[in-house]
Amino acid sequence: SISAFDFLNNYNPSLSNQLSSMLKEERIIAAWSADMYEIDETGTEDVAFLLACLGTESKHILEIACGSGRILVPLAKAGHTVVGLDMDEAMLRKIPAKAEGMDNITWWTADAISEDWGTGYDVVVIAGNFIMNIVSDEGPERAQRVLLEKARQALKPGGLLYIDYNHTYYPEQWYVHLGERVIWEGIDSAGTVGRMLLCDSTYDAATGLIRSTRRYELETATGEKIRKEMLSVKHYVSLAQLHTWLSEDGFRIEKEYGDYVGNSIGGTTGRAIICAALPEE
């Protein structure tokens, strides 16, 4: 047998070189992004709030899109048995150093939409705005539905689904921004310096779709310059829509909060934090 890469290398060296260059750029961008996330995402309020909602009794927890373990590792340190999955290998490589010596934490590389999650969990956590940031060939709205369906399948009877995402009653004000915004800027551990920008963000009230262009402008320690643009399409799920989906999947909403001090969701709060349970058998 012969791999697709070897086939291209033998029969179309030019195309093979292009593919190799693209893969190299993607690895550089992924590594730089993982380091920028570590530098930028240092808040702990959401983690503390989640831990308070879970209580002190040890639980079997699955975190979807666990990334670098920012939430997963504190859950394990609190005494829970935790499993994380994420499709970003550069992010997952950050976990071992944080979880050294711990035997109640595991993680693996997986696409949350297309791959199996396992079953029998007490809690499924979908936090860090992942319900808004899903990347899938399914399309963003369908992927959100699949996410909730798979959460139901992964939980045991009486299990809890915990969702935390950016919420507003005025998405047209939050998500419409013409021009460029610098989201991340800095140098990573390999010496790659650059920035990631979000350009020309629009919101369609009829479809709930948020469209923008994500642009990376990087230069490696060896002087290699990378400029890459990617179209980003997200679906803003309203609270009413999420309520409907959860009900259709058999969940009962137990608690809702609009911020990390426990206020109700309102016009001036910025989160939707939902604890929804499946019925006991």
pLDDT digits (tens, 9 = 90+) for 58-72: 999 999 999 999 999
In 3D, which of 139, 161, 157 has the Cα closest to residue 63?
Answer: 161
In this structure, are residues 201 and 179 in contact, taking their beta carbons and an 8 Å threshold?
no
Q: What are phi and psi of 164, to 5 degrees?
A: -140, 120
Name the token pair of 79.
Answer: 């005494």
**What's the pLDDT score for residue 31?**
97
**What's the pLDDT score for residue 3?**
55
Ranges of residues in the chain with a pLDDT under 50 are 2, 8
**What's the pLDDT score for residue 15?**
59
DSSP string, 87-109: S-HHHHTTHHHHSTT-SSEEEEE
Which tens digits make up the pLDDT trace of 23-53?
899 999 999 999 999 999 999 999 999 999 9
List CB contacts of 61: < 8 A, sequence separation 6 or more: 54, 75, 80, 81, 82, 83, 121, 122, 123, 124, 125
In this structure, are residues 59 and 161 in contact, taking their beta carbons and an 8 Å threshold?
no
